[in-house]
Amino acid sequence: MSNRKIPLRKCVASQEMKPKKELIRIVRSKEGEVSVDLTGKKSGRGAYLSKDKEVILQAKKKNSLANHLNAQVNESLYDELISLVEKENQS
């Protein structure tokens, strides 16, 4: 049995390296649309955030996503991220 390499990514808000499965990918398409990528396979510029409400709020405060993706990020995207994290924590 071989040890499989776990892909690590850096959270744009906390600057922590974490396994890909512990992060949420946010993607900016060529058209400039910013959306949550639950599959991790959408094409475009990606940024990762930890699945933690505090980190999401920190990213919103510092405008980390907008800076990383070079695009305007709507308030509704942060609300969507927080609701996703809260749903996951309940189950």
How is residue 7 written in tokens? 């892909």
**pLDDT value, residue 1:** 59
pLDDT digits (tens, 9 = 90+) for 8-37: 999 999 999 999 999 999 999 999 999 999
> Per-residue confidence at 5, pLDDT binned at 50, 70, 90?
confident
Q: DSSP letter for 21, please.
A: G
Which CATH architecture describes the domain 8-90? Answer: 2-Layer Sandwich (3.30)
